[in-house]
Amino acid sequence: MDRQVSKKNVPSYDIVEDKIKQIDGSIIVLRIFYIFMQIAYKFQLIKNDKLCTVQIPRKLLEGLRERNASLEEELTKILDESIQQAECWNKV
C-alpha cells in the first residue's frame, strides 16, 4: 500500500501546485502518496465531484529545486496531459 505524505515532505510541492493552478485554477490537490515500487509521488486531484490521479517521478521533483527549465517543461507536460484527459477524471 502506498504511504500518504504531507505536502511539506514532497520535493518542490509549491512548483507542482503552481503548475496545476496555471492549467486550471479550480483543481485542488486532495492527497499525495509516495509509491515505493516506482519511486514516484501520486497526486490525487479533485475538481468539482471528480478525482484525477497523476504520478510524478521523485527525481523530477527533486531536480525542480534547482529551477531547471527543462524539468519544469517536463512537469508541465505530465500535468497537462493527465489533467486534459477525460479518462483521468472519475466521479467520486
**Per-residue pLDDT tens over the stretch 62-71:** 999 888 889 9
Average pLDDT over residues 11-34: 95
User: What global pTM score does this model have?
Assistant: 0.90
Cell of 64: 525542480
Res. 36: pLDDT tops 90: no
- Confirm if 78 and 71 have CB atoms less than 8 A apart: no
Number of domains, the chain:
1
Residue 82 CB: number of other CB atoms within 10 A? Answer: 19
Q: Which domain holds residue 50?
A: 3-91
> Residue 80, exposed/middle/buried by CB under 10 A (0-12, 13-18, 19+)?
middle
